[in-house]
């Protein structure tokens, strides 16, 4: 029986990971969350993990009291989260934490020789080089959960080395597709949170509206599949049925299709290379009827070209654009900046971050901090 640990178990990906675990009868060894005590308590009572950790200290104390009658050992604080990522009985750690907060837990789990099912794209965006090196040194698997990257990974099964020519990374276009900058000036948080096809956490939903999400995914794809950024084409596909495609040297294009439901990519990361029944609704092409493909509007949605430039220039630039965006999204959700300022902040961080070629984890965290501080100046 598969043994898993879920980091970010109370979130959108975390709860869907538990759906998959419930269906397949996986043993859930450990759970980690930010602060949602009520839901984490329910999860502990249902899945009876050996250990649980909560990032927020006050929430952690409350949880400890709430589940004192169970056998689950509760720890709390930032360090406890990183520790638990490494010290658990699981063979696969699902990382569904949001933001750069997922980077150190990923590294800790890899160093503890756990396979990683990775939803936390910010891990690879900020620490791609470090994570890949650690994966290689520890001989563990890195399995993508992000739907586009899972699609690409699925399309590449059985592909001979050197046969991949390019990646077609699909994007829904988000709620503001087709809008002009003028129309975007005064959009509200509620409008930005209304994604046409996917139900997700708040941060990634805003990232989808600004196309930052697609920029982060381009960077994620460069690291996961060892491709040049120029060999990735972003294709706006409003229906979110084709989750991405690959083009081979001979011109053959292979795509992965399905209804938009994260439980399939989550499950595939856990059953790989096997496949089994899935809870997601099955695809009915007659219902879909037709599919459309368009170019992204990079003059309006500037986060996407900023991310492409960041990975092309490399070094700490991807960490800078990511950190700036994390703070910008927080400020936007709090109503302290406008929607278009997210792009301004990301662009400013890209320019502000000096070029470097050699860097450590501490340098990444420093670049992240500097970018967040820069974002605060835009209030």
Point out the residue whose Cβ comes nearest to Mg ion: 146
Q: Which of 146, 207, 220, 261 binds Mg ion (CB under 5 A)?
A: 146
Q: Give 238's DSSP letter.
A: T
Q: How far is the CB of 158 from ligand NAD (least distance, A)?
A: 25
Burial class of residue 193 in the structure, from the number of CB atoms within 10 Å of its CB (0-12 exposed, 13-18 middle, 19+ buried): middle
Is 204 a binder of ligand NAD (CB under 6 A)? yes
Q: How far is the CB of 100 from ligand NAD (least distance, A)?
A: 9
Q: How far is the CB of 214 from ligand NAD (least distance, A)?
A: 12
Q: How far is the CB of 266 from Mg ion (least distance, A)?
A: 12
* Region of 61-69, 199-207, 297-305, 364-372 interacting with ligand NAD (CB under 6 A): 199-207
319 binds, among Mg ion, ligand NAD, none (CB under 5 to 8 A by kind): none
Helical spans, DSSP H, in the chain? 12-24, 37-47, 57-66, 78-86, 103-111, 121-138, 147-155, 181-184, 189-192, 202-210, 212-225, 263-271, 285-288, 303-313, 317-333, 339-352, 361-376
Structure tokens at 367: 């670049």
Is 98 a binder of ligand NAD (CB under 6 A)? yes
Q: Which of 200, 264, 303, 321 binds ligand NAD (CB under 6 A)?
A: 200
Q: Which is nearer to Mg ion, 243 or 302 (by Cβ)?
A: 243
* Region of 138-146, 153-161, 244-252, 347-355 interacting with Mg ion (CB under 5 A): 138-146
* Nearest in space to 316 (alpha carbons), one of 100, 127, 98, 106: 127
Q: How far is the CB of 62 from ligand NAD (least distance, A)?
A: 14
- Which residues, 6+ apart, have CB-to-CB distance to 135 below 8 Å? 110, 116, 141, 142
Is 67 a binder of ligand NAD (CB under 6 A)? no
Helix then strand then coil, in percent of the chain rounded to 5, is 50, 15, 35
Distance CA 221, CA 243 (A): 13
Distance CA 34, CA 254 (A): 38
Q: Which of 81, 124, 206, 211 binds ligand NAD (CB under 6 A)?
A: 81
Is 11 a binder of ligand NAD (CB under 6 A)? yes
Q: Which is nearer to ligand NAD, 104 or 353 (by Cβ)?
A: 104
Q: Which is nearer to Mg ion, 80 or 118 (by Cβ)?
A: 118
223 binds, among Mg ion, ligand NAD, none (CB under 5 to 8 A by kind): none
* Nearest in space to 6 (alpha carbons), one of 74, 84, 62: 84
316 binds, among ligand NAD, Mg ion, none (CB under 5 to 8 A by kind): none
55 binds, among ligand NAD, Mg ion, none (CB under 5 to 8 A by kind): ligand NAD
Distance CA 49, CA 67 (A): 12
- Is the separation of the CB atoms in 27 and 51 below 8 Å? no
Question: What is the contact surface with Mg ion in residues (CB under 5 A)?
Answer: 146-148
């Amino acid at each position: 029986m598969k043994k898993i640990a879920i980091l970010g178990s109370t979130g959108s990906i975390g709860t869907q990971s538990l759906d998959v675990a419930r269906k397949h009868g996986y043993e859930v060894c450990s759970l980690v969350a930010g602060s949602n005590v009520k839901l984490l308590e329910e999860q502990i009572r249902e899945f009876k993990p050996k250990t649980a950790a909560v990032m927020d200290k006050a929430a952690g104390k409350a949880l400890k009291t709430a589940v004192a009658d169970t056998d689950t050992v509760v720890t709390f604080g930032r360090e406890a989260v990183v520790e638990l990522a490494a010290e658990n009985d699981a063979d696969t750690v699902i990382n569904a934490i949001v933001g750069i907060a997922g980077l150190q837990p990923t590294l800790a789990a890899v160093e503890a020789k756990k396979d990683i099912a990775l939803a936390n794209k910010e891990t690879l965006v900020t620490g791609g080089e470090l994570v890949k090196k650690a994966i290689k040194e520890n001989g563990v698997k890195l399995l993508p959960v992000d739907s586009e990257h899972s699609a690409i990974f699925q399309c590449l099964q059985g592909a001979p080395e050197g046969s991949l020519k390019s990646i077609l990374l699909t994007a829904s276009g988000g709620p503001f597709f087709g809008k002009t900058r003028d129309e975007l000036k005064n959009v509200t948080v509620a409008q930005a949170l209304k994604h046409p096809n996917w139900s997700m956490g708040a941060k990634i939903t805003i990232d989808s509206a600004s196309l930052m999400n697609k920029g982060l995914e381009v960077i994620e794809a460069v690291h996961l599949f060892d491709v040049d950024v120029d060999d990735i084409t972003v294709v706006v596909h409003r229906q979110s049925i084709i989750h991405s495609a690959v083009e081979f040297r001979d011109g053959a294009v292979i795509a992965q299709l399905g209804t938009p439901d994260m439980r399939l990519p989550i499950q595939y990361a856990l059953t790989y290379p096997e496949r089994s029944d899935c809870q997601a609704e099955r695809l009915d092409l007659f219902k879909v009827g037709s599919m459309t493909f368009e170019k992204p509007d990079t003059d309006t949605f500037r986060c996407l070209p900023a991310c492409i430039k960041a990975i092309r220039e490399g070094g700490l630039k991807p960490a800078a654009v990511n950190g700036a965006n994390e703070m910008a999204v927080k400020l936007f959700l709090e109503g302290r900046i406008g929607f278009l300022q997210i792009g301004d902040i990301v662009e400013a961080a890209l320019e502000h971050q000096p070029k470097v070629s050699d860097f450590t984890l501490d340098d990444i965290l420093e670049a992240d901090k500097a970018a967040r501080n820069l974002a605060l100046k835009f209030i």
